[in-house]
Amino acid sequence: MALQEKYQALVDAAKAAGVANLAVREQDGVLYIDGDAPSGAVKDQLWDIYGQIDPNFTGGDLILNVNAKVDPGSRVRVATKESNLNIRKGPGTDQPIVGKAAHGEIITLISQANDLWSSVRTDDGEEGYAYSQYLEPVG
């Protein structure tokens, strides 16, 4: 089965959810799906569909690079499943934790450090880096 066919439900869901700049390409036996999701919830939905197609993510034949679109200076919601979100001194899990933001808390996005990490500030003034996957636009 061609990769496009295997992951068609994922591509269709991305289109239906309004993923901007959607690009789908196959190269060297790997399907790449890139784009900008309108929210963290849409990104989670796509990952859930991926999980249904390849439950243990062991296929190694898909790169899902869809980011939730968030503008610097905007307010974002902590979108962890249940736990607090660690705020770290620098962009990486090897960096010390300097604060926490509660599940559902609204904080300020300062900037995108890279594809994985965002610079954030809580309303209490704690500032540091948080894993971008757990931030979604408010509104």
The DSSP-derived string for 46-107 is: HHHHHHHHSTTS----EEEEEEE---TT-EEEE--SSSPEEEESSSSTTSPEEEEE-TT-EE
Q: Give the predicted TM-score (pTM) of the model.
A: 0.55
Domain boundaries, the chain: 3-68, 75-137
pLDDT at 5 exceeding the cut of 80: yes
Angstrom distances, CA of residue 12 to CA of 6, 8, 39 = 12, 6, 17
Q: Which CATH class is domain 3-68?
A: alpha beta
DSSP 17-46: TT-EEEEEEEETTEEEEEEEESSHHHHHHH
Predicted pLDDT of residue 69 = 66
119 pLDDT more than 70: yes
What single-letter DSSP state applies at residue 123? T
Q: Is the CB of residue 36 less than 8 Å from the CB of residue 95?
A: no
Q: Check if the beta carbon of residue 63 is closer than 8 Å to that of residue 31.
A: yes
User: What CATH number matches the domain at 75-137, 1.10.3720.10, 3.20.20.140, 2.30.30.40, 2.40.440.10?
Assistant: 2.30.30.40
| Mean pLDDT value across residues 51-80 | 84
Write the DSSP symbol of residue 12: H
Block residue for tokens 């789908």: 24
Over range 60-87, report the average pLDDT.
85
